[in-house]
Amino acid sequence: MSENGIMSRAKVLTIDTMNPTVKKVEYAVRGPIVQRAVELERELSEGMKKPFAEVIKANIGDAHAMGQQPITFFRQVLALCSYPELLSDSTFPEDAKSRACRILQSCGGNSMGSYSASQGIDSVRQDVARYIERRDGGVACDPDNIYLTTGASDGIVTMLKLLVCGEGTTRTGVMIPIPQYPLYSAALAELGAVQINYFLNEEKCWSLDITELQRAVNEARQYCNPRALCIINPGNPTGQVQSRQCIEDVIRFAAKERLFLMADEVYQDNVYAEGCQFHSFKKVLFEMGPEYAETVELASFHSTSKCYMGECGFRGGYMEIINMDDEVKDQLTKLLSVRLCPPVPGQALMDLVVNPPQPGEPSYGSFIKERTATLSALAEKAKLTEQVLNTVQGISCNPVQGAMYSFPRITIPEKAVKEATEKGQQPDMFYCMKMLEETGICLVPGSGFGQKDGTYHFRMTILPPTDKLKILLNKVKEFHQRFTQQYS
Amino acid sequence: MSENGIMSRAKVLTIDTMNPTVKKVEYAVRGPIVQRAVELERELSEGMKKPFAEVIKANIGDAHAMGQQPITFFRQVLALCSYPELLSDSTFPEDAKSRACRILQSCGGNSMGSYSASQGIDSVRQDVARYIERRDGGVACDPDNIYLTTGASDGIVTMLKLLVCGEGTTRTGVMIPIPQYPLYSAALAELGAVQINYFLNEEKCWSLDITELQRAVNEARQYCNPRALCIINPGNPTGQVQSRQCIEDVIRFAAKERLFLMADEVYQDNVYAEGCQFHSFKKVLFEMGPEYAETVELASFHSTSKCYMGECGFRGGYMEIINMDDEVKDQLTKLLSVRLCPPVPGQALMDLVVNPPQPGEPSYGSFIKERTATLSALAEKAKLTEQVLNTVQGISCNPVQGAMYSFPRITIPEKAVKEATEKGQQPDMFYCMKMLEETGICLVPGSGFGQKDGTYHFRMTILPPTDKLKILLNKVKEFHQRFTQQYS
Ligand SMILES: Cc1ncc(COP(=O)(O)O)c(C=O)c1O
Ligand SMILES: Cc1ncc(COP(=O)(O)O)c(C=O)c1O
């Protein structure tokens, strides 16, 4: 101990004296299994011997990391915006140059290095509004209702933040699907809001039942104040695509129960299954007539991270806000202004996503070709994944109608469940950890997303290139058979 | 009213039912005065007649928006990273190409479109660590202590979030300077923490007195639990640069009072005044010997937004964490993982800032030339601002030793104070609004940053190009004289 006793003093900030709501946060997609995967990668690179040659991270929807190529046009425009001297380079197509000029003209000092307005660059918000109008068959969209965000994550957390109030039985409750994308549970834990689970129906292809919504909200009213309903469509981790009818029913339910609707539509272009189609909540809402269109409060979220572009690292996104109270909107703008602005390169990228090359423009052909190639490959891989997994006894996988993941149900033998429980681990975490150690494949256990008690799942992205995906699926198959045998 | 009564129902989310802590947030840098400036710009562009030809936004430290040019090398590397086909373009210098390759090799799939690790790209964190070691004369820096962030704002809010706990008189209190950069008060309001003001000494060039810190913490202990001390050096809005002695005293004070230190050092390259020098808290801490170096908890923040690069739109930044409890560090990493990762282009830019061209590399000469030009121009404008403002009777301005702002004290005549009060406005808000309407100059009133009762100030950036700054200062002078006369 030192003279004045400083050395021996406890730290100011310890696990016991830190923010208790932060401690409650969980985020499985980047949890212990991923940390172990990173360790294994390091060990491999240091020459340690493992039963596999490489770690395959099928835990996260990170398309480029899995080898997907960026859209050439998007990257050309970003390069032009980053280094405008290139505008005089004749190898760049004219449409890329004109897009870059339009973006730069909307930036302070014509530089992406300026802060933008907190709500996002005006011209980008206008382009987003026009995109939404086209997508929704002409339903009007006001650029004032568009807020650019730092990925969809930022928009979702911000909206949840606005909604949280009350204490005890009047505390805000938010309905989320189970299984869910764990951003929702994490944000609710951090905000100290009440998480209200509604279960998707695995037997019916992970569809959403209104009776289940009703059960969930009725029960919740006994201990909190349900104020919002979150929908993920197409679903993560479950891959279902909601029917128009279902969306209408959900909107009616939200109106009846007075719930603020949050529609997470980041996978809006990722629809693969025959007969499935993406319907935006906004469009359906407006088609239901003024009784709904003028009253139901809706926030919908989009992102540059998914679809055919997969540009996660740029952290681009937007939200559209419908029927929000004007005073609350002012508060939202104020709140966003504290963080100054979303990253401008991400805003630029969002602009390109909503305003891609048009017929007649020089880059149109290559853009369509690249987009189609990526989306057809994803559709093929969705099918392949479902098919191979369903050949394995003890694995059953719903069709991957959309998004980027399969979420198969797995049978875990009693003996394995027991061993996991003794270790204090969830059985599917035990299963996934074992798979990682034996095969190098990194998946996320179903328990990270939530699942019906007594059922087990894992989530696996469909993103690896087809060849690799085949190998991966076969390894999963072999592992499952070995595991089942070992614990029978 | 419609059949089923939906039309007439109140909204779910209203000003009365929204998150009450969000309502308490204020952020003057983008407050009502800036909204009015944007309106005026629109009115001007629509041809409305005004007593001025353009709105000059001297309200925010947004260098590129004020015409500052980006560093060529940085933008070349960003273009190469965005569109790697350019790597075969012979017009790009080799050092730009090798930096781009190093960055891309650290990205999943060699693409900036991949999510990075939540803590930031490994190689960038290593480069940051080496930069800090060089800056601090060899004091060791562990890349594990570096967290890349979405601008410094993100790091600051995240650290504050970890620190907040307790209720009533045990609620976390955080000491902040007055005047302050209003991110601090906004974040504390949102987190429901207690803001503890310590006043900088305007009479002594906005320096920090330990006796004032002591007064503030003693009083605060009666109603909250002071746990953290925030320092902004060089200061925003006040422009002072702290002496080594002062920093040592602050560290000793933090140790004695058991406070977690947060050092906002985003202006570390912005030091202009003779005899002033930037000393990092980290360096001083380590020079004070193990008694301090091994115990005092410190987070320091840096950003791509300020200094000579002024790349605000990219939202790059880092924080270094010293002596943080290991369990809390794990919690921090988990918390960051929910938001996935900071924007990768911002990380790339941070990498360039900490690893710029070296002597012998082809871009070294132009880099040094550009950096020097920007920093000398800023030094000149700092001097000019102080000089011109001090020629005006009723304005007195401390030397702008560093950062990017002047924060002069202004005398507001009794009659004007009365008129403002009748309007329910702060007198300096009234003054700045009038200046905006009459001259098109957008400043931020001192009340947005906090100031001693009965004193009035405004904050003005020194960023406009010298010619424009001269015109602007003259307009401010004329306005002040007119205003004083009008209300005498
Ligand atoms: C359903 C869903 N919503 C939101 C996000 C957040 O994505 P981002 O913040 O990268 O836009 C994801 C990412 O995987 C997701 O799957
Ligand atoms: C003192 C200080 N800290 C932090 C910030 C935040 O900057 P950014 O989030 O752009 O890095 C600013 C911006 O002006 C500042 O002046």
Query: Where do we find the tokens 């999510």?
Result: B115
Across the interface, of A11, A114, A164, the residue whose CB is closest to B312 is: A114
Query: What is the number of structural domains in chain B?
Result: 2
Structure tokens at B16: 């009365």
Interval B428-451 mean pLDDT: 94
Closest ligand to Cα B449: 2
Residue of B nearest to A226 (CA): B12
pLDDT for residue A7: 47
- Encode A93-109: b = buried (16+ Cβ within 10 Å), e = exposed: bebbbebbbbbbebbbb
Alpha-carbon dihedral sign for residues A156, A448, A55, A464: negative
DSSP A453: T
Last residue of a domain, one of A354, A378, A412: A354
CA–CA distance, B35 with A360 (Å, rounded to integer): 40
Identify each DSSP E strand in A270-330 by its residue range: 298-303, 316-322
The answer to whether residues B388 and B452 belong to one domain is yes
Query: Where do we find the tokens 């050309």?
Result: A76
In a domain, B248, yes or no: yes
- Encode B30-48: b = buried (16+ Cβ within 10 Å), e = exposed: bbebbebbeebeeebeeee
pLDDT for residue A30: 67
Let me know: does B397 contact B487? Beta carbons within 8 Å: no
Q: How many CB atoms lie within 10 A of CB A244?
A: 12
Q: Which of B257, B299, B266 is nearest to B402 (CA)?
A: B266
For B338: left if phi > 0, alpha if psi spans -120 to 50, otherwise beta; the answer is alpha
Structure tokens at A236: 């993560």
Report the CATH number at residue A191. 3.40.640.10
Q: Which of B8, B9, B11, B26 to mutate to test the interface with A (most CBs of A within 10 A)?
A: B11
pLDDT for residue A78: 98
Encoded amino acid at A165, one letter: C
Indicate the angle between helix axes B427-439 and B414-422, nearest 10 degrees: 100
> Rounded to a whole number, what is the distance in Å from the CA of B455 to chain A's nearest CA?
25
CA B307 to chain centre: 11
Beta bridge partners of B149: B317
pLDDT for residue B2: 42
pLDDT for residue B413: 95
Structure tokens at A185: 């549970």
> Which of B30, B236, B266 to mutate for ligand 2's pocket (most ligand atoms within 8 Å of CB)?
B266
CB contact under 8 A, B13 and A151: no
In a domain, B73, yes or no: no
The answer to whether residues A300 and A211 belong to one domain is yes
CA angle, residues B166, B194, B297, in degrees to nearest 5: 75
The answer to whether residues B37 and B128 belong to one domain is no
Cis before residue A445, ω within 30 degrees of 0? no
> Rounded to a whole number, what is the distance in Å from the CA of A340 to chain B's nearest CA?
8
The answer to whether residues B130 and B257 belong to one domain is yes
Residue A76 burial by CB count (10 A; 0-12/13-18/19+): exposed, middle or buried? buried
Residues 6 or more apart whose Cβ sits within 8 Å of residue A398: A202, A205, A206, A238, A239, A240, A386, A407, A408
CB contact under 8 A, B327 and A15: yes
Report the CATH number at residue B430. 3.90.1150.10
The answer to whether residues B187 and B305 belong to one domain is yes
Element (H, E) at A245: helix A244-257
Centre of ligand 1 to C-alpha A171, Å, is 26
Let me know: does B149 contact B332? Beta carbons within 8 Å: no
The answer to whether residues B263 and B308 belong to one domain is yes
pLDDT for residue B328: 93
Secondary structure (H, E, C), chain B: CCCCCCCCCCCCCCCCCCCHHHHCCCCHHHCHHHHHHHHHHHHHHCCCCCCCCCCEECCCCCCHHHCCCCCHHHHHHHHHHHCHHHHHCCCCCHHHHHHHHHHHHCCHHHCCCCCCCCCCCHHHHHHHHHHHHHHCCCCCCCHHHEEEEEHHHHHHHHHHHHHCCCCHHHCEEEEEEECCCCHHHHHHHHHCCEEEEEECEHHHCCECCHHHHHHHHHHHCCCCEEEEEEEECCCCCCCCCCCHHHHHHHHHHHHHHCCEEEEECCCCCCECCCCCCCCCHHHHHHHCCHHHHCCCCEEEEEECCCCCCCCHHHCEEEEEEECCCHHHHHHHHHHHHHCCCCCHHHHHHHHHHHCCCCCCCCCHHHHHHHHHHHHHHHHHHHHHHHHHHHCCCCEECCCCCECCEECCEECCCHHHHHHHHHCCCCHHHHHHHHHHHHHCEECEEHHHCCCCCCCCEEEEECCCCHHHHHHHHHHHHHHHHHHHHHCC
Q: Length of chain B, please?
A: 488
Report the nearest atom of ligand 1 relative to the CA of A312: 10
Q: Answer whether B368 contacts ligand 1 (Cβ < 6 A).
A: no
SS3 category, A442: strand
Q: Which of B103, B113, B83, B81 is nearest to A312 (CA)?
A: B113
The answer to whether residues B343 and B472 belong to one domain is no
DSSP A87: G
Q: Which residues of chain A have pLDDT under 70?
A: 1-9, 29-30
Q: How many CB atoms lie within 10 A of CB B333?
A: 15
pLDDT digits (tens, 9 = 90+) for B280-314: 999 999 999 999 999 999 999 999 999 999 999 99
Q: Tell if the pTM clears 0.90, that is, is over it.
A: yes
Let me know: does B28 contact B448? Beta carbons within 8 Å: yes
Q: Is the pLDDT of residue B5 over 80?
A: no
In a domain, B95, yes or no: no
Residue A460 dihedral angles phi and psi, to the nearest 5°: -135, 130
As for ligand 2, residues whose beta carbon falls within 6 Å of it are: A 340; B 61, 151-153, 181, 183, 232, 236, 264, 266, 303, 305, 312, 317
CA–CA distance, B74 with B79 (Å, rounded to integer): 9
Residues 6 or more apart whose Cβ sits within 8 Å of residue B104: B81, B84, B110, B111, B112
Nearest alpha carbon, ligand 2 atom 1: B236
Element (H, E) at A173: strand A172-178
Interval B389-401 mean pLDDT: 96
Q: How many CB atoms lie within 10 A of CB B375?
A: 16
CA–CA distance, B187 with B134 (Å, rounded to integer): 32
Q: Which of B105, B343, B81 is nearest to A340 (CA)?
A: B343
Cis before residue B237, ω within 30 degrees of 0? yes
Let me know: does B427 contact B416? Beta carbons within 8 Å: yes
Q: Answer whether A185 contacts ligand 1 (Cβ < 6 A).
A: no
Q: Is the pLDDT of residue B62 over 90?
A: yes
Q: How many CB atoms lie within 10 A of CB B393?
A: 11
The answer to whether residues B280 and B396 belong to one domain is no
Beta bridge partners of A302: A318
pLDDT for residue A8: 52
Percent of chain A as helix, strand, coil, to the nearest 5: 50, 15, 40
Let me know: does A120 contact A354? Beta carbons within 8 Å: no
pLDDT digits (tens, 9 = 90+) for B101-151: 999 999 999 999 999 999 999 999 999 999 999 999 999 999 999 999 999
CA–CA distance, B98 with B195 (Å, rounded to integer): 47
CA–CA distance, A449 with B222 (Å, rounded to integer): 44
The answer to whether residues A325 and A472 belong to one domain is no
Full residue range of the structural domain in which residue A257 is found:
100-354
In a domain, B407, yes or no: yes
Q: Length of chain A, please?
A: 488
Q: Which of A411, A428, A425, A308 is nearest to A368 (CA)?
A: A308
Q: Which of B233, B312, B310 is nearest to B268 (CA)?
A: B233
The answer to whether residues A217 and A316 belong to one domain is yes
Closest ligand to Cα B151: 2
The answer to whether residues A159 and A307 belong to one domain is yes
pLDDT digits (tens, 9 = 90+) for B157-188: 999 999 999 999 999 999 999 999 999 999 99
Q: Is the pLDDT of residue B29 over 70?
A: no
CA–CA distance, A271 with A250 (Å, rounded to integer): 20
Cis before residue A343, ω within 30 degrees of 0? no
In a domain, B374, yes or no: yes
Structure tokens at A15: 């696990």
CA angle, residues B62, B68, B69, in degrees to nearest 5: 125
Q: Which of B310, B239, B304, B234 is nearest to B66 (CA)?
A: B310
In a domain, B325, yes or no: yes
Interval B457-483 mean pLDDT: 95
pLDDT for residue A29: 67
Structure tokens at B19: 């998150």
Last residue of a domain, one of B354, B389, B412: B354
The answer to whether residues A436 and A467 belong to one domain is yes
Structure tokens at B134: 């060089």
Q: Which of A83, A154, A266 to mutate to test the interface with B (most CBs of B within 10 A)?
A: A83
Last residue of a domain, one of B304, B332, B354: B354
Residue A382 burial by CB count (10 A; 0-12/13-18/19+): exposed, middle or buried? buried
CB contact under 8 A, B18 and A328: yes
CA–CA distance, B420 with B427 (Å, rounded to integer): 5
Q: Which of A33, A114, A333, A366 to mutate to test the interface with B (most CBs of B within 10 A)?
A: A114
The interface predicted TM-score of the complex, written ipTM, equals 0.93
Q: How many Cα atoms occupy the beta-carbon half-sphere of A181 within 13 Å? A: 26
Contacts of A6 in chain B (CB under 8 A): 255, 291-292, 295
Q: How many helices (H) and strands (E) does chain A have?
A: 17, 14
In a domain, A92, yes or no: no
In a domain, A166, yes or no: yes
Q: How many CB atoms lie within 10 A of CB A475?
A: 17
| Mean pLDDT taken over chain B | 94
